[in-house]
Structures are given as C-alpha cells and as structure tokens.
C-alpha cells in the first residue's frame, strides 16, 4: 500500500510547491479537482488528500518554472557519498538503492572517455570539528563516518576509477571551504553534473551553492538517491523548478562531450 502513495504529494507538500497555502488549496477544491489548477484530488483510506506528482510537475512547466540552463563549455562530474555508509542496506544512513551505482559508473566511464574531470566527495565525521559536532546534534547517525572507518570507503564498484580529486569533507556542500572550487576554477569548469546522495541533503545544498557561484547544474535523476521515494520525488521536483536541470541519465550521457576550449 505504501508504494502506491510514493508518487503522490500530501496537501502541505503540494501547496508549498505551488506557492499557495494549504487552506487555499482546500478552498479551490470542487468535485474532486482544484479549480484553476486542474489538479485531481485523491483520498487515502484515512481521508487524507493526495495530489499526483506528475500533475504538479506539469503545472510548474505551464507556469514558467523548470526552465533549462543546459550544458556550458566545460563540464565536471561531481559524485557525493556513494560510499559504504550510504549504499549498504545495513547502514543507518543508507539510501534506497536502485540504479544509482550502475548509472554513476556509466557517467564516470563516459566522462573519462572525453577527458571530463571526475571528483569524488565523501562526508566524514570529525569529533574535534565544530561543524561535525553541530551537524551530528541534528543527525546523530553521522558519527559513524569517522575517517578511519570502513563506512567512508567508496562503493567497491566505484573505488578503482582514477578520480581527478577525492574530497573528504565535514561540510554539507562540496564547494564550501574545500579544494573543489579551486580545482574547478583552475580548469575553467562552468557546468557541474551531480550524482550521489542524499538528494535532499548534500546534493540539494551543493546544487544551490553551485548556482550561486555561477555554475550550470545538471542532475541525472537516476544517479541520485534518498532514504525514501517521496522525499526523492519532491526534492527533484523542487530542484528542477529552481536550481538545476533534472534530466534522464541518457540525456546527460549524450551531452558529455569533450570540453570546448575557451576563446
């Protein structure tokens, strides 16, 4: 039964994404649809309202959201936290694993074939670091990410690739207080392709910060993951509406071409 509702939004989620209040959404409801929006209203066995994710996505497009920035001249692939901690089902931090690892492999191999830089960034926990201590107060499970533990090892299927940069970090985003941005600037990168985990955490935070720093952001939706499909769907919808191009991995693979030289 739970699976049935994974592509549905509750009234608070739908209202937030549409930029209106939940009470307005209720008020506009008539005969099973939301007047002026064309949204169908469904009810759970407990009588709670649900709205189809695809219909909300369609509204974004019609209302001028979800524009596309496309690829720039020079891309880099940035992978976050496809480590044992985020991919082992026994881990407290594990995401719902589907095709993220295999799709990321394809992205890495395509990037390498075109001499596109590949960066692997992983979250580590340092008890002596203020950010680690603060973050773990909100999210205690992070404490398993000691830099000497096996939890922070790269997933075995991804471990042997020749990464251009490996970035252990205590920070939520990959661009804050790290060598990543110097690396990108030194190679005149203008487009970041993001893969990894979690979509609602570091992927989202990095996408927002990357946009603010002037990078085009591309997210192959099959290459990112979160702890449940509802969070994944809502976050991808919002990212695509505001900060990044969220597209099928096939489209990304077709557009991963050799970087154009600056003129």
8 A C-beta contact, residue 78 and residue 194: yes
DSSP class of 188:
T
- CATH classification (class only), 2-62: mainly alpha
Domain with CATH 1.10.1660.10 in the chain: 2-62
Domain with CATH 3.40.50.850 in the chain: 75-255
For 75-255, the fitting CATH number among 3.40.50.12640, 3.40.30.10, 3.40.50.850, 3.40.50.1390 is 3.40.50.850
DSSP 57-121: HHHHHHTT--------SSEEEEEE--BHHHH-TTSTT----SSHHHHHHHHHHHHHHTT--EEEE
DSSP class of 125:
B
8 A C-beta contact, residue 224 and residue 98: no
Burial class (CB in 10 A: 0-12, 13-18, 19+), 58: middle
Spell out the per-residue pLDDT of the chain, length 263, in tens: 444 455 788 888 888 777 788 898 898 888 888 887 778 899 888 888 988 877 876 776 555 455 688 999 999 999 999 999 999 999 999 999 999 999 999 999 999 999 999 999 999 999 999 999 999 999 999 999 998 999 999 999 999 999 999 999 999 999 998 899 999 999 999 999 999 999 999 999 999 999 999 999 999 999 999 998 878 888 888 898 889 999 999 999 999 876 654 43
Nearest CA to 81 among 131, 6, 141?
141
């Amino acid at each position: 039964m739970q699976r049935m509702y994974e592509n549905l939004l509750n009234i608070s989620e739908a209202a937030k994404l549409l930029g209106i209040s939940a009470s307005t959404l209720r008020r506009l409801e008539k005969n099973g649809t939301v007047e002026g929006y064309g949204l169908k209203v469904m009810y759970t066995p407990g009588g709670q309202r649900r709205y189809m994710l695809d219909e909300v996505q369609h509204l974004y497009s019609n209302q001028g959201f979800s524009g596309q920035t496309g690829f720039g001249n020079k891309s880099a692939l940035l992978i976050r936290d496809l480590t044992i901690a985020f991919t082992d089902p026994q881990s407290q931090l594990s995401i719902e694993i589907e095709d993220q690892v295999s799709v990321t492999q394809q992205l890495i191999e395509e990037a390498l074939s075109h001499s596109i830089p590949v960066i692997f960034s992983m979250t580590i926990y340092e008890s002596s670091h203020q950010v680690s201590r603060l973050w773990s107060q909100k999210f205690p499970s992070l404490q398993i990410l000691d830099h000497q533990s096996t939890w922070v090892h790269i997933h075995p299927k991804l471990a042997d690739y020749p990464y251009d940069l490996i970035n252990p970090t205590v920070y939520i985003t990959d661009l804050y207080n790290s060598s990543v941005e110097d690396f990108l600037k030194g190679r005149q990168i203008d487009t970041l392709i993001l893969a990894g985990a979690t979509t609602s955490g570091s992927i989202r935070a990095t996408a927002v910060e990357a946009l603010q720093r002037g990078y085009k952001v591309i997210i192959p939706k099959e290459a990112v993951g979160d702890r449940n499909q509802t969070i994944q769907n809502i976050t991808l919808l919002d990212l695509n509406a505001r900060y990044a191009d969220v597209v099928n991995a096939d489209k990304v693979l077709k557009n991963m071409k050799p970087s154009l030289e600056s003129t």
